[in-house]
Chain A
Amino acid sequence: MSLLAQTDLTEFATPDIAWSLLAPFVVMAVGGILLITITSVVPVLRGRGFPAGFTILTAAVSAWFCRSIWNGFAENGSQSIVADALAIDRMTIVVWAIIAMAVFLVAALFDGYLRRENFDGPEWYVLMLMSASGAMLMAAAQDLILIFLGLEILSIAVYVLAGLHLRRLTSQEAAFKYFILGAVASALFLYGIALVYGATGSTNINVIAGARAANDIGLNPVEDSSMVLAGMALMMIGFAFKVSAVPFHMWTPDVYQGSPTPVVAFMASAVKVAGFAGLVRVFWDGLGYYAPDWRPLISVLAIASLVLGSFMALAQSNVKRMLAYSSITHAGFILVAVHSLAGGSEGGLDSAEGVVNSVAGGEAFLFYLLAYSLLVIGSFGVLTMIGGRDDRGHNLDDLRGLARSRPVLAGLMAVLLFAQAGVPFTSGFTAKFRVILAAANSGSYVLAGIAMLAAVVAAVLYLRVVVSMFMVDAPAVAHAMTATVDDSEADAETEAAEDEADVVDPDRWARIPRPAMFAVFLAVFGTLVLGIFPWGENALREAAVEIAFLRQAG
């Protein structure tokens, strides 16, 4: 019946197979350690170019291994390795690939950013590689302990990254808040693990999934529903915090606004993706039996995130903060997909329709993760470039006239924003369309309706940014009352005069680092390709089919 159940404990002992299947993760972790070692031993390489190149190469190699593992699936199927602790299945590889892609693109953003902000040293890259390896561990782990381990490796590195802009107080503040609140969430999560362990006698997800089944036929005296439910509650909180679902989102705006912009690009993509992968792994693979219990809660979190995220975003004048709230809305969308994925269990995975809906939900889930990661890295990438020295120029007003002075950059940003707003022929449209259609097909019309409305409200805020970039003469949305420079006169001297009093670099848009531009260009390219062609369609569907059937397998 299942691929996983067939896995014999003696088989994984063959180290060859295990290592080759672990390669993307190992490359990432070892890459980080190697980088810090090399740069400590050979100080010459501490300069700016080498760490970036090394990181990009590491990510590329990791992605390449992901590809070769994927190609092996057709022959070998998915496997559990290292004493059943890690699942190398299609979802794992898709998520790993997304993480590797995020590292690749963000490393390109780091380079120009660090030059501009005058930081050197490889620690930014090292921390990102460590964090990425934690994220990969979390995505693949089949054991609650390992998931926690991955979560902490991931989180601690990101806490430090958030505070690495030493000259900015807000950066320190962001790191501090993130750390305090993250620690609380981690503690709750750990407690949840303990409760589930207490109830089922194991931390292994397959065993947990089997425990209930065994209990049903009177074989397992350990299982205790109240403890499982309490454990689920606490773990849910931990994941909700990581993916910043309302009401566990409070840290997000402050942290996104305060952290160095390229770090935000990483946080919003890789960290969230890993969080969602862990959520699905634990709740769907392990606790899928309890879907009727947790599924309604997912819908509540989704609705709260959709509504609050989009409305709060409207009230912001800082673009980073606005995108922080918009990422909360995106999280709401992804939760809707998770809700549809779990919907199969209510209609019964036995019914053909239930399976189709569940697969559609899984497909929407993976597609959204992929599309969203590209969008968010691209958007924060553009913000990185136009932020100016000290990473401050992120108010809506600072973007005014960007289309005139930097038409290409403004054009790319416009595509990314249109995509986030869900304009057809971009991945954003396809992603939202899939999510909403999957929700509607599985009968969650209210959820689908709210998702649609949220998409409409959110469209306004993206357009606001586009307007301020393209309409030089439009009155500044946020600071119309305080604007002193008359646009018509200032056109010629905007760049020179306007900002002299301000902290922002006079020609803040003058220097566009090529690697960062390349990264943003790739993100936009991916966004358009995903929106027009069904690139990777079959791959995602295979993965979704596997996810939909996983619970049955357990």
Chain B
Amino acid sequence: MLDLAWLIPAFPLLGFVLLILFGRRLGEPAAGWLATLAAAGSFVFTVIAFIGLLGEGTEERFHIIKLFTWLDVGSFQADAGLLIDPLSITMCLFITGVGSLIHLYSVGYMHGDPNFSKFFIYLNLFIFSMLLLVLGDNLLLTFLGWEGVGACSYLLISFWFSDESNASAGKKAFVTNRVGDFGFMLATFLVFVNLGSINYDDIVTRSGEMSANTATLVVMLFLLAAAGKSAQLPLFVWLPDAMAGPTPVSALIHAATMVTSGVFLLTRLNPLLAEAETWSTGLVAWLGAGTALFAATAAVAQNDIKRVLAYSTVSQLGYLFLAVGVGAYVAAIFHMVTHAFFKALLFLGSGSVIHGLHDEQDMRRMGGLQKLMPVTAFTFIIGWLAIAGVPPFAGFWSKDEILLYAWNYDEAQGKILWAIGLVTALLTAFYMTRQVILTFFGRTRFFDATAAEIDQGWENRVAAARAEADQAREAEQAAEAAMGKASADIAKKQEAVVKAEEKLGASDPADDKHDRLVKAMQKAEAAVVKAEEKASSLVAGVDTAVQQAKEAAGRVLALENQAQSAPRPAVVVTARTEAVELGEIADHMPASYVHRQEYHPHESPPTMTVPLLVLAALATVGGGLNLPFTKDLHFLEHWLEPSLFGHEAEVTSSAGTKWLLAVIAVTVALLAILSAFAVYLRGRRDPATIERPVLANAWYVDQSYADFFGGPGRVFFDMLAWFDRNVIDGAVRAVAQGSTWLGQGMRAMQPGFVRSYALSIGLGSVLVVVWFLGRLFV
């Protein structure tokens, strides 16, 4: 059955090729289904290989299937072969298993994306590279896969590359990993120089030929490589940024595959680690413990749902390194598998939430979703219980195993490592509880106005008031104008009265004109009275208008002040946080707010929820792989034995100690969960005292890198760049220019005339003849 093992990587490769050729023609969703089938086919053959291995004796479970010799010249031989042993098949099982689920999920998640088929091309290539990485029978093939997953992660993270931040996140991942790859390459060369081979077969059987110093150096270099790929201190910075990619990518990269390759590499090379000085494995353990604690503290203060999970992943990977460092390879693989289950579940769950909420990633704007998205909430809660270490979910068993081995490692060191692990477990339970509460419990904050929207609302409100004030001022001006006009009218009428009086005085009273003049005079006086009446009726209007204008101006000022001091959404929220009272601005909210009120958060389609349910089941029962109760239940340990060559550490603690440690771990986890409930659900304590900016910024590590590389480092790099530009490039350009000149010069020798060609041939012939005849005298 193992003869068919080559089909494991062949399926995704075939899918990749087919999608390249026909992907666009297949379109949505056929391209996605094809890719899913390819991954599922690979899974089927992994299972077949798994069954095949199970049927064999423990000693025989180490097969090298040579596919072909790539290069065979002289003493150098590069083969392409597969190494089928329990370790590689375990890796393959969850890479293809979880990978298939992620493919299926992506069919739903990427719905409507214009580059739908391209996404699946990358996914299949990623799976293929990852399988090459774990199945390759030599370091070169592993490196090929190593680089392949690096390239795919770059492509996938920056999949929506038209957004600048996505593109730069992809670049960051790529560049950071380069640092680690450098270690990988150096280590490979060192191994080749020392053993004359880079086959795992030779490395595991002949690692004793290396001196302890060489082995230590090799292990250190591989540790650098592993730290880059598995996002350990100090190379973790790319992982939180990698959240920019589509969610299935996060799940694929984080949970099941790429980040575990560092741990896989160290496990695969366990005989080398055994040869190395003990301090080097100790360093692996300390690095892991440090990373675990560090990332867990950072996760406590993140608000982006995916960033919490990203830091959580870094932290859990730290556990794996801790396990490898203390020689607990089985525990490392055990936790790697369970982590693959529950972290993929959590990532896909968060993706489902983001999908349902119209690309909203801020947990402060979630809440209460368990009613709107029941399946997602149910499965997410299982993932939470698993990662928090609540028995009997998967995470409890594997984490407990690691803590036990840490305790057992070394007298003093072991206890400190265990304590760090325990604190990390406490923080893990705490931040995951916080995430679940903020996302699924309490009030649905999705519809709340954001700070920006409220700002906009106030701006709109003030603008409306200003418009009113302007109107009032215009009315006031109009009234005053009317008043002026009325006064002018009165004056004119009074003038007419004066004129009429003059005429009356000058006339003869006896004249019969006199009567007429008297009448006119009376009429004029009446007109004055009328005009005065009219004016006095206007006075009140003018007063009102003035008053109103004054009031409107005052209202503008008041609103401006109010806008300054009006409540904004809280920066730190709990489930109890109330929505901001809109009041004044309720009718002035921007379109984004208004539209959101009409949007209905919804549960995701079955292509997304089915994978969630499957993963939830696995996260529940995954602990059964390696139950601690009796030796017979150590399935994983027996299974992995042929890959570990007896380098697994021994546990010497008594059963009582084991029980005690487990009880302490569970107690701590429950305490953390309860305190998180107290803070975030019941509001017993202001969460701002917990979510410090220093934590939110992950202790400013990333920031200080940026500052260094942008500041003092910059000067150095500028110098380097100058050197590169002027000296190295200068040399290169000189060579290029020189070559071109040389070529141009030589071109002059090729004028196109047959006679000059004949001359060249003639001269050449003379030289050849002279040479041969010269040999006569040698």
- A residues near B (Cβ < 8 Å) are 176-177, 180-181, 184-185, 188, 225-226, 229-230, 232-234, 236-237, 240-241, 247-248, 250-251, 253-254, 293-294, 296-297, 308, 311-316, 356, 360, 430, 433-434, 437-438, 441, 457, 460, 532-534, 537
Partner pick for B765 among A237, A356, A434, CB 8 A cutoff: A237
Pairwise interchain contact A233-B771, C-beta atoms closer than 8 A: yes
Chain A contacts of B758 at CB under 8 A? 180-181, 184
Pairwise interchain contact A226-B773, C-beta atoms closer than 8 A: yes
Partner pick for A233 among B69, B72, B769, CB 8 A cutoff: B769
- Stretch among B172-180, B255-263, B551-559, B745-753 lining the A interface: B745-753
Interchain CA distance A437-B75 in the complex, whole Å: 10
- B residues near A (Cβ < 8 Å) are 68-74, 76, 736, 739-740, 742-744, 746-747, 750, 752, 754, 756-758, 760-761, 763-765, 768-769, 771-773, 775-776
Nearest B-chain residue to A437, judged by Cβ: B73
Interchain CA distance A177-B375 in the complex, whole Å: 81
Pairwise interchain contact A532-B70, C-beta atoms closer than 8 A: yes
Interchain CA distance A332-B600 in the complex, whole Å: 72
A248-B761, A311-B742 are contacts. A233–B73 as well, Cβ < 8 Å? Answer: no
A177-B757, A184-B761, A241-B761 are contacts. A430–B743 as well, Cβ < 8 Å? Answer: no
Interchain CA distance A232-B744 in the complex, whole Å: 34
A229-B772, A229-B775, A311-B742 are contacts. A360–B73 as well, Cβ < 8 Å? Answer: yes
Pairwise interchain contact A180-B73, C-beta atoms closer than 8 A: no
Q: With contacts defined as CB atoms under 8 Å apart, how many contacts are there between chain A and chain B in the complex?
A: 106
A247-B764, A311-B743 are contacts. A254–B776 as well, Cβ < 8 Å? Answer: no
Pairwise interchain contact B72-A437, C-beta atoms closer than 8 A: no
Chain A contacts of B747 at CB under 8 A? 312, 315
Pairwise interchain contact A315-B743, C-beta atoms closer than 8 A: yes
Interchain CA distance A177-B756 in the complex, whole Å: 11
Interchain CA distance A248-B68 in the complex, whole Å: 41
Pairwise interchain contact B746-A308, C-beta atoms closer than 8 A: yes
Chain B contacts of A533 at CB under 8 A? 68
Pairwise interchain contact B772-A293, C-beta atoms closer than 8 A: yes
Interface centre among A229, A232, A240 (most CB of B within 10 A): A229
Known: A247-B761, A296-B771. 12 other contacts (CB 8 A): A181-B758, A233-B771, A237-B761, A237-B764, A247-B760, A248-B761, A248-B764, A251-B757, A253-B750, A315-B740, A441-B74, A537-B72
Interchain CA distance A177-B755 in the complex, whole Å: 10
Chain B contacts of A251 at CB under 8 A? 757
Nearest B-chain residue to A307, judged by Cβ: B742
Nearest A-chain residue to B761, judged by Cβ: A248
Nearest A-chain residue to B764, judged by Cβ: A247
Pairwise interchain contact A181-B761, C-beta atoms closer than 8 A: yes
Chain B contacts of A460 at CB under 8 A? 736
Pairwise interchain contact A234-B769, C-beta atoms closer than 8 A: yes
A181-B758, A247-B760, A250-B757 are contacts. A233–B740 as well, Cβ < 8 Å? Answer: no
Nearest B-chain residue to A457, judged by Cβ: B739
Minimal beta-carbon separation of B192 from chain A (angstroms): 15
Q: List 20 A-B contacts (CB under 8 A).
A: A180-B758, A188-B765, A229-B772, A230-B772, A247-B761, A248-B760, A250-B757, A251-B757, A294-B772, A297-B771, A297-B772, A311-B739, A314-B743, A360-B73, A360-B74, A433-B73, A434-B73, A437-B74, A460-B736, A532-B70
Pairwise interchain contact A247-B763, C-beta atoms closer than 8 A: yes
Chain A contacts of B76 at CB under 8 A? 437
Interchain CA distance A197-B74 in the complex, whole Å: 39
Interchain CA distance A294-B772 in the complex, whole Å: 8
Partner pick for B746 among A241, A293, A315, A430, CB 8 A cutoff: A315
Pairwise interchain contact B754-A177, C-beta atoms closer than 8 A: yes
Pairwise interchain contact B69-A537, C-beta atoms closer than 8 A: yes
Interchain CA distance A31-B349 in the complex, whole Å: 71
Interchain CA distance A543-B701 in the complex, whole Å: 62
Chain A contacts of B764 at CB under 8 A? 237, 240, 247-248
Interchain CA distance A533-B6 in the complex, whole Å: 15
Minimal beta-carbon separation of A117 from chain B (angstroms): 24
Minimal beta-carbon separation of B9 from chain A (angstroms): 14
Chain A contacts of B752 at CB under 8 A? 254
Interchain CA distance A42-B590 in the complex, whole Å: 85
Minimal beta-carbon separation of A130 from chain B (angstroms): 25
Chain B contacts of A360 at CB under 8 A? 73-74
Pairwise interchain contact B773-A233, C-beta atoms closer than 8 A: yes
Chain A contacts of B765 at CB under 8 A? 188, 233-234, 237
Chain B contacts of A177 at CB under 8 A? 754, 757
Chain A contacts of B68 at CB under 8 A? 533-534
Interchain CA distance A134-B750 in the complex, whole Å: 30
Nearest A-chain residue to B768, judged by Cβ: A233
Interchain CA distance A240-B760 in the complex, whole Å: 13
A177-B754, A360-B74, A441-B74 are contacts. A250–B768 as well, Cβ < 8 Å? Answer: no
Minimal beta-carbon separation of B670 from chain A (angstroms): 55
Interchain CA distance A296-B771 in the complex, whole Å: 10
